Amino acid sequence: MSDTLCREACVLIQELMECYVSRGAAEIEEMYQYLSPDILVIGTGRHEFYTNLESLKAGLEKDQEEAKDIEFIIKNEWFKAKQITEDCCVVYGEFEACENNIEGKKVIINMDTRITAEVHRRPDGSLVVGSLHHSIPYVYQNEGEYYPKTFADIAEEALRRSEILEKSIQLDSLTGLYNRKYTEKHINRMLTDDKTGGLMLMIDLDEFKRVNDEKGHLVGDELLKKVSGILAREAAQASEIAGRIGGDEFMVFLPGDRSIEEGDRLADYLIESIGNVFSGIGLDQSCSIGIARAEIEGEDFESLYHKADAALYESKALGKRTFQWNLKK
């Protein structure tokens, strides 16, 4: 007798779920005869808490209206039942509610769904559902994980990935310095928004093509990395910005009210340090540097860049391994 009740209850819940998920309003109306007037239904939505049949009907009407253009089918369903009393059992099970009309859609609805329902037999022998709990597994709880990650953990991981992505967009992939776009962006912000002023040094490696031709591109790449390391350490110590703006061209920006003496000292240091890097691979060469100072309040990157570039051109014309200033306003 108990097997009969459990078997019939499983069939009833299966039919009710299929009716709800994949059939129309008329079929749903017919299923109400199997629901108790005092039925308790808890759905997946925060608002889906119904304590009688009338409130459930009102909720289902809104549900059907919102989903009128979506067709669902049920996959991978299973239901079992556990006897509670002679005339009552609990049905439990699981199914996938999948969107069917998916051609051309980029986002497809696919819900793993769990069901728990109390089913009992009426005096006339028919079955009625007294309560039903419909739930969806917590998507952030992994298989075999008994205590789910908090949203804070998830948000922290998303933030970490976002920061990694942001760095990959800002940085030159070979050297780790700012790339040209972000070098310009940060310096321009300091000049035009913060109005800090400062010194700009344009650095060009002398006869770098010779390194690639005589030593090979791998040696050339390693040399660029070592030069970048010198610039990065200098920038970190003095709150400066260092960037790679071309194949063998670099830029250093010293924000604030900086003196000509500071620019001279930094240029001498870079020429000597970069010369030592070249010496390490048996080449007697270094770099040429052009320096410009933001003399006008609110001067932008473009104008300061052109002044520093003109100074760099003059430096290379004078024999390289030296630096020149452009102090024009």
- Count of beta carbons in the 10 Å neighbourhood of residue 172: 18
Task: Tell me phi and psi for residue 134, to 5 degrees.
Answer: -115, 120
Task: Tell me phi and psi for residue 17, to 5 degrees.
Answer: -65, -40
* pTM of the predicted protein model: 0.55
Q: How far apart are alpha carbons 220 and 210 in whole angstroms?
A: 9
Indicate the DSSP class of residue 247: S
pLDDT at 299: 85
Collapse the DSSP code of 86 into the 3-class scheme (helix H, G, I; strand E, B; otherwise coil) and give the result.
Answer: coil
Dig out the tokens for 110 from the structure.
Answer: 């696919």
Q: How far apart are alpha carbons 116 and 95 in whole angstroms?
A: 12
Q: How far apart are alpha carbons 319 and 18 in whole angstroms?
A: 85
CB 170 within 8 A of CB 238: no
Which amino acid is it at 224? Answer: L
pLDDT along the chain (329 residues), means of 10: 86 89 78 94 89 92 77 86 94 85 60 90 94 83 66 75 81 92 92 88 94 93 96 84 94 92 95 95 94 84 94 91 88
The length of the chain is: 329
- Helix ranges restricted to H, the chain: 2-22, 25-31, 53-66, 151-170, 180-188, 208-215, 217-238, 260-279, 301-317
pLDDT at 139: 67
Q: How far apart are alpha carbons 137 and 271 in whole angstroms?
A: 63
Which amino acid is it at 253? Answer: F
CB 200 within 8 A of CB 190: no
DSSP string, 56-73: HHHHHHHHHHHTTT--EE
Q: How far is CA 312 from the centre of its chain?
A: 40
pLDDT at 281: 92
Task: Tell me phi and psi for residue 119, to 5 degrees.
Answer: -125, 130
pLDDT at 238: 67
Domains in the chain, CATH or no CATH each? 2-135 (3.10.450.50), 172-326 (3.30.70.270)
pLDDT at 108: 55
Residues whose CB is less than 8 angstroms from the CB of residue 5 and which lie 6 or more positions away in sequence, other chains included: 81, 83, 87, 89, 119, 121
Q: How far apart are alpha carbons 198 and 150 in whole angstroms?
A: 46
Q: How far apart are alpha carbons 213 and 129 in whole angstroms?
A: 84
* Chain segment 126-179, per-residue pLDDT in tens: 999 999 998 887 766 667 766 666 666 777 887 888 877 877 788 998 999 999
CB 285 within 8 A of CB 211: no
CB 83 within 8 A of CB 5: yes
